[in-house]
A and B are shown apart, each in its own frame.
Chain A
Amino acid sequence: MAEEKKTSTKNKRVVKKDEDMEQNITMSPKQFQELIQETIKTALNQSKGVSPEVKAEVTTNVQATLATKINNRVREGEQFFAYLSDSKGPRKRIVIDKIYREYVGDKITATVNGSTVKVPVDGKQHWVHPAHYSAIKNKLSYISSVRDRAAEGPDMFGNDVGDYKQVRQGS
């Protein structure tokens, strides 16, 4: 019985470790800023040898820098996301042949600057933002080159071991 208890405790510790690794936090930019500010204040207060003036300056500068970065990202990202949600925003038509299913699955996933789309690989036309269009086409272009490369296998030259004239182009 004692051994069973020990085993179950060990399992619980393992489960706790997995939970810690996979824990995610979702918050708004403002909450994020406040969290950073509190973190910095706590860290500075616990740091030895840092004068109060430096602590105040660091807190202000870092907070301002982070706030600026976050605001810029949100503002510029808003334009991109506005295009995505606007049905009249820029779109390009894309058709992905079913032949690509064996390489990417039923849907191809494309992410640009955090915005993800999943486009069905069904041979029908779909409309995506030009940035996603470019990412998807790049992926398909690479898959095509891999298929072409694999198609030009050793059979291309037949059994020409030692026959240098035939295998060397332009001789």
Chain B
Amino acid sequence: MPNLASITDINRIVHQINQGNYDIAPEQFYDKVLLDTIKLGQEHYVHLANTENYTLPKGTKKLQKRRWGGLTAHTTPLKEGLPPAPDKTSMESITFTATAFGRYMEFTDRVNLDQIDPQIVHYTKELGDVMSRTLERYARETLLSSASKLFSNNKLSVGELEITDKLTIADLRFAALRMQRLLVKPLSSGYFNYICSPEFLYDFMDDPLVEKYMNINQTTRQLFDDGKPFPMFMIKFIPTMLDEFYTPELDHPGEYFDGDDFYLRVFAQDDSGNTYYYNQLGDETHRTTNNTTSYLADGTAIEAGEKVSWKIKTFVDSDEITKVDSDGNKTTVTLGGSSSPTTAEANALVWRQVPVHKGILYGKDALVKIGIAGEQNAKTIIKALGSAGTNDPLDQRQTLGAKINSIGYGILRDEAVVVTYSVPSQAPAVSGLTAEVVKMNNTVTDKAADTESNTLAHRNYTVDEADKTKGTVIDKDATLPEVDQV
């Protein structure tokens, strides 16, 4: 190598980093632009599309709607000079209630100074969006509370549903026909709406009536292209994933209430995949609710008594399970002795809750929304540093929140809503996937609680202990060392 000028006096980066330990070339670049939060898009917010809105005056929490009855025509002629018997009136009324919802988060002042990401901006937006999803969830719960139920394959409750119990277009057609007979009018679009899951639409393609439609019309419409369903028999299909599978920590698709107790329908498959086993877990020993505030994986706080957990049981001898073979033959197996499966084999199976999908078929006069005028929308409330006055004397705390002051939903006519229960063919394979994707990798909710002694190393007091002046204790009896006089 030719001998060029010496590098001794040149400022070389390699010298600075390796020998000088200059921390001037960090390994990562912190891009301030955040990735999109993984969550459902607005196209899944479908439950509020056809609500009738009523406003309450300020100071009221309930709305009463009344319906006056009609009269029946008859052809009894009038007698001369004699009036007929006078008709009477009939009326019924129904009441709806409004309530308030809200969420908030609290941060210290260091969140603005000690880290890079705009957490406050992100969670301000997220709180607004979660209020929209709260209303969607409230509307869905209200629609699902309807006392009109349709179970696939003529089953009578969730406790009887099996993995092969798909809902068909013929079932929905029957439900729509009944609604017409009950004088439930279609929506302004001319259709009844059916809110369903993507798994139901997956089976839509294989439905006999859909196959017939495509054969006769020699078309697949857009089903083979973008998978969007087409209306059939006055029913319009509205897919959504904002259902019980999106929030498995709060909802249990296999859970049902038989009027007296809660049960969880569970199933297991043998190794061959041809035989299914079913069981109902009762709420006495397998269902618990949180007795203190607990946190979901995404940091959502759930008040005590609001989070339900189920524990899969350990089978013992004399427990009964239902066995369904590949031909659909059902037998009840009492575990123990020489039963097939044995108790140990039953416990070795992987038991999961049956993924029951709920659909909502509705027409006019279904869902009603009420609320005080001007108070039905979400409001963002930001309390900046120091806004708590003397409770925050050094401007160390800030909060951001969202609130809806007055909102309520109700069903105007129970006949206008039919809730369907089924287990689509692909539900066991895919229904639980969304929740895993939404869960973040890092969270503080499952870590030890934050305490006052928790500190960051770089915030430690930097003055050396030895350099601190501690002061001197004066002892009046101390003997001073002699000083030579000059």
Among residues 146 to 164 in chain B, which have CB atoms less than 8 Å away from a CB atom of chain A? 146-151, 153-154, 156-157
- Residues in A neighbouring B260, C-beta threshold 8 A: 137
The answer to whether A110 and B148 have CB atoms under 8 Å apart is yes
Q: How far is the CA of A156 from the CA of B95 in the complex (A)?
A: 23
Closest to B178 in A: A114
Choose one: B62, B99, B391, B408; the contact of A164 (CB below 8 Å).
B391
Distance from B480 Cβ to chain A, minimum over Cβ atoms (Å): 55
The answer to whether B147 and A138 have CB atoms under 8 Å apart is yes
The answer to whether residues A134 and B216 also contact, given A112-B149, A149-B99 and a CB cut-off of 8 A, is no
Q: How far is the CA of A114 from the CA of B145 in the complex (A)?
A: 17
Q: How far is the CA of A65 from the CA of B178 in the complex (A)?
A: 22
Choose one: A80, A104, A106; the contact of B156 (CB below 8 Å).
A80
Q: How far is the CA of A80 from the CA of B61 in the complex (A)?
A: 42
Distance from B219 Cβ to chain A, minimum over Cβ atoms (Å): 11
A146 at interface by CB-CB < 8 Å:
yes
Closest to B155 in A: A113
The answer to whether A139 and B145 have CB atoms under 8 Å apart is yes
The answer to whether B259 and A130 have CB atoms under 8 Å apart is yes
Among residues 406 to 434 in chain B, which have CB atoms less than 8 Å away from a CB atom of chain A? 408, 410, 414-415, 418
**Chain A interface category by residue count:** 35 or more
DSSP class of B's interface residues: helix, strand, loop or mixed? Answer: mixed
- Residues in A neighbouring B156, C-beta threshold 8 A: 80, 112-113, 130-131
Choose one: A80, A138, A163; the contact of B257 (CB below 8 Å).
A138
- Residues in B neighbouring A153, C-beta threshold 8 A: 61, 99-100
- Residues in A neighbouring B154, C-beta threshold 8 A: 72-73, 76-77, 80, 113
The answer to whether residues A24 and B180 also contact, given A135-B149, A138-B259 and a CB cut-off of 8 A, is yes
Distance from B269 Cβ to chain A, minimum over Cβ atoms (Å): 25
Choose one: B147, B388, B408; the contact of A111 (CB below 8 Å).
B147
Q: Per-residue CB proximity of B254-270 to A under 8 Å, as 1/0? A: 00111110000000000
B98 at interface by CB-CB < 8 Å:
yes
A109 at interface by CB-CB < 8 Å:
yes
- Residues in A neighbouring B415, C-beta threshold 8 A: 109, 111
**A–B pairs, 25, beta carbons within 8 Å:** A21-B185, A24-B180, A40-B212, A40-B216, A47-B216, A47-B217, A62-B212, A77-B154, A94-B259, A103-B94, A103-B95, A110-B414, A111-B147, A112-B156, A113-B151, A114-B178, A133-B258, A134-B257, A137-B258, A139-B145, A142-B142, A146-B99, A150-B62, A150-B408, A153-B100
Q: Hey, which bits of chain B sit against chain A, CB under 8 A?
A: 61-62, 64, 92-95, 97-100, 141-142, 145-151, 153-154, 156-157, 168, 170, 174-175, 177-178, 180-181, 183, 185-186, 208, 212, 215-218, 256-260, 292-293, 388-389, 391, 408, 410, 414-415, 418
Q: Hey, which bits of chain A sit against chain B, CB under 8 A?
A: 21-22, 24, 40, 43-44, 47, 49-50, 58, 62, 65-66, 69, 72-73, 76-77, 80, 92, 94, 102-106, 108-114, 130-131, 133-139, 141-143, 146-147, 149-150, 153-154, 162-164, 169-170
